[in-house]
Amino acid sequence: MTAGRVEPGEVAAVPARPVVRVGAPTERRNPRSVDLDLMSTRDVLTVINEADRRVPAAVAAVLDEIAATVDLAVAALRGGHRVHYFGAGTSGRLGVLDAAELAPTFNSPRHWFCAHLAGGPEAMWRAVEDAEDDHRGGAAEAADCVGAGDLVVGLAASGRTPYVLGALAASRAQGASTVLLCANPEAEAAGSVDVFIGVDTGPEVVTGSTRMKAGTAQKLVLNTFSTAVMVRLGRVYSNLMIDMVATNAKLRGRMISILVDATGCAEEVCRRALHEADGDLKTALVSLVSGAEVPAARAALARAAHQVRGALDLLAS
């Protein structure tokens, strides 16, 4: 056989591909589900449901770390910077979902939260081969878009995903704050980030299937984190969404309901105030609560950086 050439009847050698055996808790076998394939449908569901009950308690144990991450994000956004999610597989897809939902829910500027998924947009729908193992790719993507003062949140169930760790390392070099969110409290990378959130969800019902408890925990943490950020930035009044984008009939109706709940005024009064405010919920709210005319309410919001509480304080003084 000539080097580099396959002769008739010969089989070309296939290059060995890298193999990694992950020792994270998410890869261990769950003793409660070893007979999963022998169970009835109802028993399978029971085992999964009982395992899922562990997740909220595991998230509760890391609330201090989530709070620290919220504070970093608020400081970054108030300083004109951005929040980035870098993830692969289920973790990365959950980051994309969280970032996508913030603009319609809170009318946040779309550049505030940027989601980066190993393998690119195509990876939302199918696995992109070896994308999560690309340490250099994660680093290059972060170096290209992360700036000093940004916050970068790495999402990796195992805590060791090369694409994510590459992005975090490059982000630190760029002067960004870094956070690692994973389901492995023992992750070696814990000491290389500003905040480490290791949610102890334990072994999965289906061994290694981190779309289950680990994914549920990441969804809960991301919901908690991003919602708290929006609250701290004044995009919630009481417990009401006041920066929402009314893109359909249901949401336009919700705007009226919010005004009624927030002010105690009759529905017709709220409809009229919203109309006079050109559909701007915050302006209508400040006008109704303070008793000021719409132009004064709008001016107060502008002076208070569009914070309802601040505008009300200005009008009260």
Give dist(CA 231, CA 93) in Å, integer. Answer: 24
From 101, 129, 186, 267, active-site residue: 101
Task: For residue 132, indicate whether it is catalytic.
Answer: yes
Task: For residue 188, indicate whether it is catalytic.
Answer: no
CA 57 to the chain's CA centroid: 19
Give dist(CA 284, CA 259) in Å, integer. Answer: 8
Instruction: Evaluate whether 26 touches 200 at the Cβ level (below 8 Å).
Output: no
Residue 282's closest CA among 228, 241, 251, 229?
Answer: 241
Residue 143's closest CA among 118, 114, 175?
Answer: 175
Name beta bridge partners: 178: 152
CA 260 to the chain's CA centroid: 31
CA 130 to the chain's CA centroid: 23
The two beta strands, 83-87 and 195-198, are: unpaired
Angle at 296 between CA 294 and CA 297, to 5 degrees: 60
From 132, 267, 268, 276, active-site residue: 132
Q: Where are the beta strands (DSSP E) in 216-279?
A: 236-237, 240-241
- 27 CB-near residues (< 8 Å, 6+ apart): 158, 203, 207, 208
Burial of 35 (0-12, 13-18, 19+ CB in 10 A): exposed
256: left (phi over 0), alpha (psi -120 to 50) or beta: alpha
SS3 94: helix
Catalytic annotation, residues: 101, 132
